[in-house]
Amino acid sequence: MKMSQEAKKTKLYSSRVVYVCDLLLFKECDKIPNICGRAILVHNLIRAYDLLSHMHLIPSEPASEDILLSFHSRNYIEFLQKVEESSDLENHEEDLLEFGLAYDCPLVEGIYKFVQSIAGASITCAQVLVDGLARIAINWCGGWHHAQRDEAEGFCYVNDIVLAIHKLREKFSRILYIDFDLHHGNGVENAFSFSPHVMTLSLHKYEPGFYPGSGGLSDVGLGQGRYYTVNVPLKEGVRDDNYFTIFQSIANKVWSTFCPNAVVVQCGADCINGDPACGFNLTPRGIGRCIENVLAWNVPTLFLGGGGYNLPNTARCWTYLTSIILGLQITSSIPDSNLDFMCYSPDFELDIVRGNRSDLNTAEDMKHLTETICSEYHHT
Ligand SMILES: O=C(CCc1ccccc1NC(=O)c1cccc(C(F)(F)F)c1)NO
Ligand SMILES: [Zn+2]
């Protein structure tokens, strides 16, 4: 049967990798606490390694009010619009607190435009996958997994991930969300805990008093969504081998039982050795092996950023992951054409080696986690 022009175009794109390249978005991203300058640092390193020429660069469209309301409450969105216009913030004190706009989510300048921009980038990527214009999309300015429907939380002002998954649901019936960030992806899990169409899989540090505190082994989803929430609570110091082994076991079980037709991956880099969060002892190679597993599934996949407070290391990590996604080998010596070359001193190497701190996860811990999680499927 003769291929139509349109089908040929889509066929052509379906092997493509789309990358959100938008200087306005990078500027908005700088407003997020503690990661000022990170977005452009990541972009500059990806460019210095000449990876941009292998991707289809797209600008980001700000999210409309309607799209934001597909997850967030009208109260929250209207408050953001109101507070952006008003100059006298004094008598909004208690409202600010009610919507989480305090402490780790201080009010940022032009907050509504900021939220439209941050959410819009991930939704733009989801739209590209829905339209079949590419099989893979990357937005390193996304991944804000703590935001709840009616409040900001944990540096997350809008849940771009939930909004992107909601957009993907227009075309895909079973979506797997994978969260590699050091912290539990509570906002995304909460949004879909009752849904059998979205499976959320989060690997994170889990110990008394560690933020956000949710994501225990017994947290398996609710109602129709029971057993469509998977949590892998880990102790501190986990290393690449333990992490990859348990991810591979669970991911392959999830693949064969849930059969996702689209995947969203949050690649928060605060799980990497050297991050001030100082939780895990992973290297980008460890996460790289996990996403190679995901790439082998060959279904539409959206890659997002997230945490990552050692800015040069986060740039190293996401540049390395971009090369894995593209299937390209890149040199470990940072190109001296890079604008921020001095940030990568003293080694000027892309590789991040693991630390010597011990992995508190014993072989028994890992065996127990794997058996408990992989045996869950006998119920369904
Ligand atoms: O990374 C996060 C947010 C973590 C968070 C939530 C609520 C309150 C504080 C934090 N911040 C940190 O855990 C943290 C860890 C290391 C370094 C920093 C930094 F931003 F101050 F550098 C912050 N989620 O994936
Ligand atoms: Zn985090």
pLDDT at position 113 is: 97
**Tens digits of per-residue pLDDT, 267-284?**
999 999 999 999 999 999
Which atom of ligand 1 is found nearest the CA of 34? 20
**pLDDT band with cut points at 50, 70 and 90 for residue 219:** very high
**pLDDT band with cut points at 50, 70 and 90 for residue 211:** very high
For residue 168, what is the domain's CATH number? 3.40.800.20
Distance CA 309, CA 161 (A): 20
Residue % of the chain over a pLDDT of 90: 92
Distance 305 CA to ligand 1 centre (A): 14
* Annotated binding residues: 104, 154, 181, 183, 270, 309
Q: Which two tokens stand for residue 237?
A: 């110091």
Ligand 1 pocket mutation, candidates 104, 145, 156, criterion most atoms within 8 A of CB: 104
Which atom of ligand 1 is found nearest the CA of 275? 16
pLDDT at position 244 is: 98
144 in contact with ligand 1, CB cutoff 6 A: no
Please give the distance of CA 126 from its chain centroid, rounded to a whole number: 13
**Tens digits of per-residue pLDDT, 24-43?**
999 999 999 999 999 999 99
- How many CB atoms lie under 10 A from the CB of residue 341? 15
Q: Is 332 helix (H, G, I), strand (E, B) or coil?
A: coil
Q: Are 321 and 303 in contact (CB under 8 A)?
A: yes
Q: What is the CA radius of gyration of the chain?
A: 20
Give mean pLDDT, residues 180-191.
98
Distance CA 192, CA 166 (A): 10
92 is catalytic: no
pLDDT at position 342 is: 97
Distance 182 CA to ligand 2 centre (A): 5
**Tens digits of per-residue pLDDT, 305-353?**
999 999 999 999 999 999 999 999 999 999 999 989 999 999 999 999 9
Dihedral over alpha carbons 96, 100, 103, 107 (to 10 degrees): -50
User: What does the angle CA 96 – CA 101 – CA 107 come to, to the nearest 5 degrees?
Assistant: 100
ipTM, two decimals, is 0.97
Kindly report the average pLDDT of the chain as a whole number. Answer: 95
Distance CA 64, CA 199 (A): 26
Give mean pLDDT, residues 197-220.
98
Q: Which helix (H) or strand (E) holds 231?
A: strand 229-234
270 in contact with ligand 1, CB cutoff 6 A: yes
Sign of the alpha-carbon torsion through 157, 162, 168, 170: negative
pLDDT at position 85 is: 81
Give yes or no for residue 13 having a pLDDT over 70.
Answer: no
pLDDT at position 10 is: 59
Query: Nearest to residue 135, comparing CAs of 291, 10, 282?
Result: 10
Q: How many domains does the chain have?
A: 1
- How many CB atoms lie under 10 A from the CB of residue 337? 11
Distance CA 127, CA 175 (A): 14
Q: Which helix (H) or strand (E) holds 136?
A: strand 136-139
Distance CA 164, CA 188 (A): 11
Q: Are 319 and 49 in contact (CB under 8 A)?
A: yes
- Which residues make Cβ contacts (< 8 Å) with residue 58, sequence separation at least 6? 18, 19, 20, 21, 124, 128
Q: Which two tokens stand for residue 246?
A: 């348990």
| Domain residue limits at 106 | 1-377
Q: Is 158 helix (H, G, I), strand (E, B) or coil?
A: coil
Give mean pLDDT, residues 152-156.
97
